[in-house]
Amino acid sequence: MTGTLAEHDDVYRQQGFGASSGIGQRPALLIVDFVESFADPTMFGGGNIPEAIAATARLLAFARSRHWPVAMTRIVFADDGADANIFTRKVPGLLALTETNPHGAIVPELTPIAGELVLRKRLPSAFAGTDLTAWLAGRGVDTVIVTGATTSGCVRASVVDAMGNGFITVVARDCVGDRALAPHEANLFDMQQKYADLMTSDEIVATVSARFAQAKE
């Protein structure tokens, strides 16, 4: 495949990709793997991840003001590596992210509060092997707004599974980050074509706020 992503947009549009799914009536915020090791460029971080964490902190404040369900994920493996899997065969360093390792802790800017779900996962998707689907369904959620790291890895896997589990899915594009910008941009493009809407955090806030204002009239 040659050419820029923008040059391929016409091909996708002609084939019927990229329609908008919008935002439903009951959003939830999903924050994927914004932990210390992914904020550290000497470990799993780099690229635009610091900026994405800062933008997510602002969106999280809005979500809390609206009383949205909020779920966050951490990658957590057993101290003795007994639960190692194919994911850790590909990325052995993930086995260091145990329950008590500070590198696996959620970054301070996004510290969860009471009532927010913190999921431990051992696979890329926030839905794989976790109770996330049931937790969201139990709260009447119809839309999952996804933030986190990395765009090309755990974010993408979570977006595909969110859509596959029947949720309208929105990627907050300034709230997702990757250690390299080329895979970040390529995966944003692909997710928008097939699985999710892409919106900035400001656009999400404006859309939801406008709907709330109309409902009060």
Write down the residue that tokens 């997710």 correspond to. Answer: 191
Structure tokens at 200: 């900035």
What one-letter code names the amino acid at 209?
S
Q: Judge whether 175 counts as a catalytic residue.
A: no
Single out the catalytic residue among 154, 155, 157, 172.
154
Our measurement of the distance from residue 15's CA atom to the centroid of its chain's CA atoms, rounded to an integer in Å, reads 27
Amino acid present at 65 = S
Could you tell me the end-to-end alpha-carbon distance of the chain, in angstroms, rounded to an integer? Answer: 51
- Report whether 172 contacts 56 (CB < 8 A): yes
Q: Are 159 and 153 in contact (CB under 8 A)?
A: no
Cite the active site residues: 154
